[in-house]
Amino acid sequence: MAEELEAERHDVREDGRRPPRAVVGSHRIEEEMFGRAFDGKVIRRIRVFVAPYRAKLALAVAAVLLFTATQLVIPLIIRYAIDNGMAGGVADQGPLTLAVIAFAIAILFNFAASLVQETVVGRVAENVLFDIRRAMFSHLQRVSLSFMDKTEVGRLMSRLQGDVNSMQEFLETSVISVGDVVLLFGIVAAMLYLDVRLGLLTLAVLPVLFLVRIVWLPRARAAFMAAHESNSVANGALAEAIHGVRAVQSMDRQDVNFALFDDKASANLRAHLTAAKYAQVMVPIVDTLTGIAMAIVVVVGGSMVLGGGLDVGVMVAFLFYIQRFFDPIRSLTMQYSVMQRAMASGQRLIAVLDVEVAVKDKPDALTLPADMDGSVEFRNVTFGYDPKHPVLKNVSFTVRPGETVAVVGPTGSGKSSAMALVHRFYDVQDGAVLVGGHDVRDLTQQSLGEEIAMVLQEPFLFTGTVRENIRYNKADATDDAIEEAARAVGAHDFIMALPQGYDTELGERGGSLSLGQRQLLSFARALVADAKILVLDEATASIDSYTERQIQKALATVLEGRTGLVIAHRLATIRGADRIMVLREGELIESGNHEELMRAEGLYASLYTLNFSSFDDIPEGHFATSQSDGAGSRS
Amino acid sequence: MTTNYAASAAALSRSRAHVKAAGLGAGASTIWRITRLALRHPFKVGIALGSTVVAAILQLSIPQLLGMAVDQTQTILAADNAAGVAEAALLTTALILLAVSIGRGLFTMTQNYFAEAVGHHTGYELRLACYEKIQRLSFSFHDAVHSGDLITVVMLDLEGVRMFFSTGLVRLVLLTMLIGIGAYLLLSTDMVLGLTALSFVPFVAWRSPLTHLRLRATWLDLQEKLGILTKVMEENLGGIRVVRAFAAQAFEMTKFDKASRAALALAHDRVGIRVRNTSAMTLSFFISMGLVLWIGGGKVLADEITVGTLASFLTFMTILQMPVRQLGMLVNAFARASTCGTRIFTLLDIDPAVKDGPDAKELAVGDGTLRFDDVSFAYPANPELGVIRNVNFEARRGQTIGIVGPPGSGKSTIAHLIPRFYDVTGGRITLDGQDVRDVSLQSLRRAVAVVQQDSFLFTTSIENNIAYGDPWAHNPRIERASEFAQLHNYVLGLPQGYGTVVGERGVSLSGGQRQRMSIARTLMLKPAVMVFDDSTAAIDAGTEQRIRSAMTEFAKDRVTIIIAHRLSSLMHADEILFLENGEVVERGTHTELIESGGRYKALYDLQFRDEDQNDGGAA
């Protein structure tokens, strides 16, 4: 089967050479860009965000209407001046003066209305954008971690940025659409009012334009989207070349890659040229229709003027209106796309806002007292991300105040899940987790968080100075306390060697520091948090022996006087613990200190004697045989 | 060879300071260079500009025709002529009007299409040039320049340059034609009325570019503010476990609100700037129009001009309004093209620090003997600080050299110097007697393969990743390399086997698996020198042992260099160099080094003491 696919994929080309087994860039699966033009559910949800600005929006709509009215009235004023003041041999200063005064008033209203309309709409749209983003961001702070685990950060960011922006665009254009619709109907009405017959004749070109655009739009949009997509394909390949440049150069792939990239860049060029054709083909069509409309006014309108059936000013006004009336149609059809895009984005925004908040404070949740004893107890805990497949099965244990417990076991044994439950990142399905004698579900998450410090396997630092990172959200930690913590974990020396010491700005995610140094900073951060309980997931990545020694010392310091739960990988850490708990497939199978467990000759002893540097990276085969092989192979 | 890329890095970044510092003179030469790029498509440029001129003339003749039509109804009416003649005249005008409109449409279409086509072709060429340049620029460049900056250059800046032909040059011609001819027509028809009609032009022509420049400046500010907001959100979501672990949600919301408010305030300001100016410009236009109505009306009353002339003046004004407002966009297009172009050209003009010499020969691999003769190296950014100093060693085919030492002792530098990722600053490296700087880069890099510390995987199938350096390889070879690297069984266990997509958007692999993949793809290259740059750190000792024994055969006819901090990885080497502060302080076989009781011995004790103690304890 695999061979067949292979043969198919690597067909021999005409020149007898196989194409290379190579691609540049990866094709991103684009999200649905357009939804239905109108989705009641989306509108209802978005309305909540618009509601606070209702009064302002009403004002904006009023301003839009006034603005449109002034635009409509100007040709009428000109017509009045011509017909009553100057045409057909009449020469009267009165109507002209009147017209100029009316004109002055109209443009003042126009000015005021446009100022109000655009300012209010622009600002409200910005506000709504920021409000929606805040609501989503704040919601993401509370949703269950299993959702966050499943979802890529990039995907969430595109919700928080791209999708929110298209809602803003939608809001702005929908107010302006009101103006367009009014302008369109206004022009039609004005023309019919001035002269029904000429009006109807001239307006006959409108349906033609509508029809043309309806035929054109889906095709043009397909071309625009193809161009858009080919952009992201080409850019993706470029980004890959930048990120992977060292690998590319060391494997000398430049020539092959350049040829492959050329294919993508040419496809991009072709797609854009096609899109440009679609975009431009509308220009002569609209101009032809405008020309027809003007010709009609000149021939028919002109004859009517000649026959005395029409004032010449009306003819001039018609010519003015014709110049304008294709604009609203163009922008309305554009707004149709904006709406469709907004609906698709709206659905994705709602999906984020509707993610369930699984872990909530009870209405009468207690504050965990700061003087609690620091004990941790698991009482018959059963837990699974998917209730059908529990990762912890009926686990019970107690950690006494001040005790350090090392949790070991192969990958997938449930160690990390157990630690996450202490902090109530998830709720148990059965049984209970107790901290300081209280069921964690009865406590406020805030107070629980304050009493449990965590050090994660991957040290995560934030943009900001070293000091800010160690302090993190412990706002009342003094600079002295921070320095003391850094000294305690052995980070002080390297911090002082940085250009600005504690005030050195760290690069993105602490990128300017080595892994070991980031590790030490995250220890210091946990120390400053000054919690009774420390949950620590030891790093698996191998660190050089020198830093390793420092980290071991820091670990001992941090655990002093605290209850410690450590997911341990290193032998030194495991042997240093007061007690070792061995988990396998969600069950606690062994517990005791190193000597006891070695004597028991169980899983721990057999893993230990295999001499793996870490208990996590044990090949599957070894693990299965290790139990039958038994212990003592190294003695 | 000491190229300092710090200046290029600053030029390629989007820091506001740098954008501001770029002077006008540099801008003009950049604009000229972009124009020359466009002129490489003379046929298309010619059609675009020719159509622009014709379209502008046709556009301007429309008000004339309309005025003529109005007058035809008036003069004929006044003369009380035979209706047939008048209608015939109107019909002629209408047909001309229709023809002119269609012509204007067709020429505008041609103008726009060809202008865009020139832009897209230029963009295509620039994109290829950037791609090639990025692929060829040496490691020291990529060390100095933030990859995010580079990505913005090739995406956003390239767009800015690409758009310049249509939004800048063609529009400049169009606007000059429209405003110039329009002004001439108006003024030649009636000087006073013409001046009145044009009175809004200076105001708008001054205001619009000013506004656009201010909007551009605040736009850059806003991007910076939004960049901070993005960072806050991204870090929060990426580090959500830390946030939750420290119960820092409230703290994070404060951070978010601070960044968000700053950006929102600026966004509001920008709305204000934009609206005040567009409104003011519209008002000035309407005031001129009102004046034309007033003065022109008076002139009609005084019989100085006809109603048709007045109508054509008013129509002229509506036609002129757009191009005058667009002066701002024009200025903006020039400003954008000059900053974007400066960055693109900075990138394209950078010379790779490491490149083929003028008479580079193909490397001839014979015995495959690698020699370091007194090799020293310092980074260009810091030439005083020698990263390695006077390193000497020789390795023959089949031999293994181990390199060990504390962090920062220069171990990886040795790995990077052999395939010329950087050039030595002293001494020389030879392969079979040929200085690596005298042979072509391509032949050198085919002969020297480095398994890097951080193994970048491409987002494609596992087989494509393994065959990255030899895309024409057959399946059995790929599988054999994968077996050597102890990866084969794992891959077979995946649902799509070797077709499984890995990398950024594929199945995520553990650190050890990534390193094994990286080893497999290096084995595909069949190099004469193979360097492991701390590339087994995440692989457990047992698996590493199996990789090593699988490779014994492979290592027989090549030089192997192993850089590691885990001594078990390199204890078997024929010679071990202990590096400290860039100098070889101890050298010899494992046994010799243990016996001599120096730093190597101390490190050995540090790493193995644990287990020795334990052996005693457990017994």
All domains in chain A, ordered by first residue: 40-353 (1.20.1560.10), 376-629 (3.40.50.300)
- Domain B370-618, second-level architecture: 3-Layer(aba) Sandwich (3.40)
Please tell me if residue A139 touches chain B, with a CB cutoff of 8 Å: no
CB contact under 8 A, A107 and B290: yes
Q: Distance, in angstroms, between B450 CA and closest chain A CA?
A: 7
Asked if B262 and B223 touch (Cβ cutoff 8 Å), the reply is no
How close B88 gets to chain A, by Cα (Å)? Answer: 9
A433, A422 contact by CB (below 8 A): yes
Tell me the per-residue pLDDT of A475-530, one tens digit each, with 9 for 90 and over: 888 899 999 889 888 888 888 888 888 998 886 666 667 777 888 888 899 888 88
Among chain A residues, CA nearest to B289: A103
Q: Where are the alpha helices (DSSP H) in B556-598?
A: 590-596
**B230 burial via Cβ count (<10 Å: 0-12, 13-18, 19+):** middle
Tell whether the model's pLDDT for residue B537 goes beyond 50: yes
pLDDT per residue as tens digits for the range A115-149: 998 899 889 989 999 999 999 999 998 888 878 87
Cα atoms found within 13 Å of the Cα of residue A503, Cβ hemisphere only: 1
Cβ–Cβ under 8 Å, residues A141 and A94: no
- B90 CB neighbours in chain A (<8 A) are 298-299, 302-303, 306
- As a CATH number, domain B7-190+337-352 is 1.20.1560.10
Which pLDDT does position B481 carry in this prediction?
A: 92
Pair of tokens at residue A529: 């948090």
SS3 of A344-379: the string is: HHHHHHHHHHCCCCCCCCCCCCECCCCCCCCCEEEE
User: pLDDT of B143-184, one tens digit each?
Assistant: 888 787 888 888 888 988 998 988 889 989 998 898 899 899
B188-221 burial string, b = 16+ CB within 10 Å, else e?
ebbeebbebbbebbebbbebbbebbeebbebebb
CA A324 to chain centre: 40
Q: Across chain B, what does the average pLDDT equal?
A: 86
Lowest mean pLDDT among B465-469, B493-497, B505-509: B505-509
What pLDDT does A1 receive?
A: 36
CA distance A452 to A445: 11
Mean pLDDT of the B73-83 span: 61
- Which of B 336-375 lie inside 8 A of A, CB atoms? none
Read off the pLDDT of residues A419-461 as tens digits, 9 standing for 90 and up: 889 888 888 999 999 998 899 999 988 888 888 888 887 788 8
Whole-number percent of chain A with pLDDT over 70: 89
Give SS3 for A333.
Answer: helix
Confidence (pLDDT) at A631:
33
pLDDT score at A329: 79
Under an 8 A CB cutoff, do B155 and A235 touch? yes
Q: How buried is residue A300: exposed, middle or buried, by Cβ count under 10 Å (0-12/13-18/19+)?
A: buried
Q: How far apart are CA B280 and CA B272, in angstroms?
A: 12
> Which range, A530-544, B166-180, B538-552, has the best average confidence (pLDDT)?
B166-180
Task: For residue B256, list chain A residues with Cβ-Cβ distance below 8 A.
Answer: 134, 137-138
pLDDT tens profile A268-323:
999 999 999 998 998 899 899 999 999 999 999 888 888 888 888 888 889 888 88
B positions 522-561 inside 8 Å of A (CB): 522, 525, 537-543
Select from A111, A299, A542 the Cβ nearest to the Cβ of B283: A111
Q: Give the list of residues 6+ apart from residue A412 with CB closer than 8 angstroms, or none.
A: A391, A585
User: Which residues lie below 8 Å from residue B199, measured CB to CB, with a gap of 6+?
Assistant: B287, B288, B291
Q: In whole angstroms, what is the distance from residue B618 CA to residue A506 CA? A: 45
- Does residue B137 belong to the interface with chain A, where contact is any CB pair within 8 Å? yes
Give yes or no for B301 touching A (CB within 8 A).
Answer: yes
Q: Taking CB atoms and an 8 Å limit, are B249 and A248 in contact across chains?
A: no
Interface test with A, best of B51, B256, B268, B294 (most A CBs within 10 A): B294
Token reading at B114: 């060809």
Q: Are A261 and B128 in contact (CB under 8 A)?
A: yes
- Alpha carbon of B25: minimum distance to chain A alpha carbons (Å): 31
**How far off is chain B from A337, nearest CA to CA, in Å?**
22
User: Do the Cβ atoms of B562 and B403 come closer than 8 Å?
Assistant: yes
- The stretch A5-20 carries a mean pLDDT of 51
Q: Domain-by-domain residue ranges, chain B? A: 7-190+337-352, 200-304, 370-618
Give per-residue pLDDT as tens, A144-193. 887 887 777 777 887 888 788 888 888 888 887 888 888 888 999 999 99
Which residues make Cβ contacts (< 8 Å) with residue B317, sequence separation at least 6? B197, B285, B288, B289, B292
Q: Which pairs with CB-CB distance under 8 Å and at least 24 residues apart come from B80-84?
A: B83/A303, B83/A306, B83/A307
B268 to chain A: closest CA residue: A123
Place of tokens 């090392």: A406
CB A362 within 8 A of CB A553: no
Residue A506: what pLDDT?
80
Residue B384's alpha-carbon distances to B1, B2, B380, B410, B415, in angstroms, are 14, 12, 9, 15, 21
